[in-house]
């Protein structure tokens, strides 16, 4: 049942959550975080700060850092950028990506018609969903030089499996941030997809991108700024959970992922 998501004020509810998640009242934030940890089974033993009382507010907890020993960065040239579960992964065929069941969407729609879209007419993709209990910082899956970033306004449908199977073109409709990197594999696109109550995303080079919510695509050119990130370094974070999509060009080493697979940041993907 997804009909109700078409009629609720998606951005208003996400803005409300944005504000609630930053309330610093000790009693409120401690009770909220304790409830969340118990409800979703969050493993705080992996976090740098294991005690709920140490967090300034809920979003501080939600975007918590992990201990340096909590994740190993594999020697592979491509690693998993997040903790989560694989929604779908496979070939990009005729510039089309598989969403779920009978749903497909085009690369051009996902990238909002960017001129680089035709470079992904074929290749590989991976869509990874971050659940509420997961670690929500996003790391570089490969060494790359940042070329550009697009903020693309849109809807804020949920990205849970039921909604993914029920809403046409979901990932090409939701608000998102697309990062383009030049890598040893060629041009790669890395997409952060927003969702209901997940209306805020940020990157390490630009800080918080939204809110405020915009009505037009915002383009940022970094080609001359020499921003290079190494595999495993932090790329950004979701202020609340959502989905990342990796687009890679055709190459001999395809991503070793399958639908419903549980993944952790730092694992080898090829």
Q: Which residues are designated catalytic?
A: 83, 139, 242
Q: Are 196 and 157 in contact (CB under 8 A)?
A: yes
What are the residues whose beta carbons fall under 8 Å from the beta carbon of 2, sequence distance 6 or more? Answer: 157, 158, 162, 163, 166, 167
Nearest to 109 by CA among 17, 245, 242: 245
* Helix (DSSP H) and strand (DSSP E) numbers for the chain: 6, 15
The C-alpha atoms of residue 51 and residue 94 are separated, in whole angstroms, by 50
Q: Are 120 and 189 in contact (CB under 8 A)?
A: yes
Nearest to 235 by CA among 172, 110, 142: 142
Q: Are 196 and 5 in contact (CB under 8 A)?
A: yes
- Other CB atoms within 10 A of residue 25 CB: 10
- Other CB atoms within 10 A of residue 57 CB: 18
For 106, phi and psi rounded to 5 degrees?
A: -95, 155
The DSSP call for residue 132 is T
- Sign, CA dihedral 28-33-38-39, equals positive
What are the residues whose beta carbons fall under 8 Å from the beta carbon of 4, sequence distance 6 or more? Answer: none
Write the DSSP assignment of 112-130 as a string of letters.
Answer: TT-GGGGGGSSEEEEEEEP
């Amino acid at each position: 049942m997804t009909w109700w998501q078409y009629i609720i004020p998606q951005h208003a509810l996400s803005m409300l959550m944005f504000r609630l998640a930053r309330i610093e009242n000790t009693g409120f934030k401690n009770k909220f975080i304790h409830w969340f940890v118990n409800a979703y089974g969050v493993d705080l033993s992996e976090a740098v700060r294991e005690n709920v009382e140490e967090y300034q507010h809920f979003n501080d907890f939600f975007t918590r850092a992990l201990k340096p020993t909590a994740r190993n960065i594999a020697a592979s040239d491509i690693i998993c950028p997040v903790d989560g579960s694989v929604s779908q992964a496979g070939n990009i065929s005729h510039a089309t990506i598989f969403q779920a069941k009978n749903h497909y969407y085009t690369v051009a729609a996902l990238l909002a018609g960017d001129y680089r879209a035709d470079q992904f007419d074929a290749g590989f993709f991976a869509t990874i969903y971050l659940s509420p209990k997961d670690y929500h910082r996003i790391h570089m899956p490969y060494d790359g030089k940042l070329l550009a970033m697009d903020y693309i306004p849109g809807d804020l449908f949920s990205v849970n499996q039921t909604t993914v199977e029920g809403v046409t073109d979901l990932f090409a409709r939701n608000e998102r941030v697309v990062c383009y990197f030049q890598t040893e594999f060629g041009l790669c696109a890395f997409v952060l997809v927003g969702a209901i109550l997940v209306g805020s995303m940020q990157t390490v080079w630009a800080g918080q991108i939204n809110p405020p919510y915009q009505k037009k695509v915002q383009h940022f050119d970094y080609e001359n700024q020499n921003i290079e990130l190494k595999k495993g370094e932090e790329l950004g974070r979701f202020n609340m959970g959502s989905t990342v999509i990796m687009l890679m060009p055709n190459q001999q080493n395809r991503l070793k992922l399958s639908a419903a697979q549980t993944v952790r940041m730092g694992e080898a993907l090829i």
